[in-house]
Structure 1
Amino acid sequence: MGKKYFIAGTDTDAGKTLVATGLLEAANQQGLTTLAIKPVAAGCEQTAEGLRNSDALLLQQAMSQKLPYEQVNPVALEPAIAPHIAAAQLGKSLRVTQLAGYCRGVMMQPSDFLLIEGAGGWRVPLNRTETLAGLAKELNTAVILVVGMKLGCINHALLTIEAIQRDGLPLAGWVANRIDPNMSCYAENFATLVDLIPAPCLGEVPHLAEANGKEASRYMDIASLL
């Protein structure tokens, strides 16, 4: 049985997909077989093949095993809003058990390293009683937290980690992703996070002109994950 991790972010646009593809590329470079799934994605675009999400397509390209798009992103929603609102607008319902079923289907494929990418932050609702965090709990996966480095990120990171711990899941590590190139006192903020987060820092990704998984993989250290 390979390693599996849930990729969470401190916020929307923290860089979950950039970090996930970077981790996949780093694992590929070590000769590992890799898989990824983004069970629910909002903000999908109509294509000749059907609805497609740019993040899910990047995951599909970065992983070494081949899966049809519908397995990589089983719930594709067109409106670029919170998933539960997008689903409600389309007359659909989202449930943890349903998403867990899709994930388990992918987990049955043999792989050394599997990533499940969330949507938005840790407490994004699926419906009135469930959040996406419930999926990580249902699958009992360790969590990798992507910290979008900008003003306020320390509070976002610590609150998210508190919630992950309260949900009874281990934090396997975290990645600092510099989304704001003009962030003041970046080094001091990063040092504070290293000091306060009770898990290894797996990478420090600078603000990249070419933001892609291959480039991000240069800044990843996945030894502790393996």
Structure 2
Amino acid sequence: MQQPIFITGIGTGIGKTVVAAIITEAIGGDYWKPVQAGIEGGTDREWVSSRITKGTNIIYPEAYLLQMAASPHIAAREENIRITCAGIVKLMPHTQRPLVIEGAGGLLVPLNETEFMADLIHHMNARVILVSRNYLGSINHSLLAASYCKSNNIDVMGWVFNDQYMQYEEEIVAWSGFPIIGSIPFNADCNAWFIREQAANLRPALMQLI
């Protein structure tokens, strides 16, 4: 099994699911979101499945599917469930294709009282793609995420930026020391065509990294 690719980012609502779909499409990988907190309006797994090209790739079911749209440790507590990194790893799919794993929120989203999303990355021995969305304040949030990765020996493949508030990408790349994989323009309708188009754009850079 290849080293999995973990999609995380600088916060919540910054486009991880869109990027995960694009990465999965680009490399012909399998997709897995182990923890989904909040199911109203559909899950991220369903969103990705409806937009990537149907082939031999597999969209795996969640390890934890929680009703409440909240931090995973709170949503799990409401259902008398305790999420652990070890429990997730036991359910981790084994595949010969690249496995694209989408995290919940950012690096320091808690899974329980002592374990965070960053701990799960270590348990999975995953490489990370950091997602940053351009907005006022995203430089600070991006560099904090990058600093945490460096301080905690998290293997970062590079950045994927999305939205186009201002041109922050070059500064974030230079200050963080992590390379850019690609930049995704804002699109209010991220349909299957858009996912395929952006996957084609990112594929050359990704293939050099995996």
Question: Measured at CA, do residues 59 and 209 of structure 1 come closer, stay the same or move farther in structure 2, by a change above 3 Å?
Answer: closer
What is the CA RMSD across the aligned residues, in angstroms? 2.0
Check the 8 A contact 1:147/1:177 in 2, yes or no: yes
Q: Name which of 68, 80, 94 aligns with 1:79.
A: 68
Q: Does 1:216 align with 2:201?
A: no
**How many angstroms does 1:199 deviate by?**
2.1
Distance in 2 between residues matched to 1:3 and 1:137, nearest whole Å: 12
**Contact in 2 for aligned 1:35/1:115 (Cα 8 Å):** yes
List alignment gaps of at least 5 residues for structure 2.
Answer: none
Contact 2:5 2:101 in 1 (8 A): yes
> Once the two structures are aligned, what percentage of the paired residues are identical?
32
1:205 matched to 2:180: no
Report the counterpart of residue 14 of structure 2 in structure 1: 14
The within-5 A match list for 1:1-226 is 1-28=1-28, 34-45=29-40, 53-61=42-50, 62=52, 64-65=55-56, 67=58, 71-103=60-92, 106=93, 108-111=94-97, 113-178=98-163, 183=165, 186-187=166-167, 189-212=168-191, 213-220=195-202, 221-226=205-210
Structure 1, residues 99-129: CA drift from partner, whole Å, max 9, x if none? 11112xx1x2221x21111000110001111
How many residues end up aligned between the 2 structures? Answer: 203
Structure 1 unaligned segments of length 5 or more: list them.
Answer: 29-33, 46-51
Determine the C-alpha separation between the residues in 2 that align with 1:98 and 1:53. 24
What is the TM-score when the length of structure 1 is the normalising length?
Answer: 0.82
Alpha-carbon distance, 1:211 to partner:
1.6
Deviations 1:157-178 (A, max 9, x none): 1111111222212111110111
Q: Return closer, same or farther for 1:121/1:128 CA change in 2, 3 Å cut-off.
A: same
Give the whole-Å Cα distance in 2 for the aligned partners of 1:190 and 1:25: 23
Distance in 2 separating the partners of 1:66 and 1:140: 21
Alpha-carbon shift at residue 64 of structure 1 (Å): 4.2
Give the residue type in structure 2 aligned to 1:202: I
Q: 1:35 to 1:64 in 2, by over 3 A?
A: farther
Contact 1:143 1:170 in 2 (8 A): yes
For the Cα contact (< 8 Å) 1:11–1:148, is it kept in 2? no
| SS, match of residue 121 in structure 1 | coil
**TM-score of the pair, normalised by structure 2:** 0.88
Cα separation, 2, equivalents of 1:210 and 1:54: 17
Distance 2:3 2:80 in 1: 36
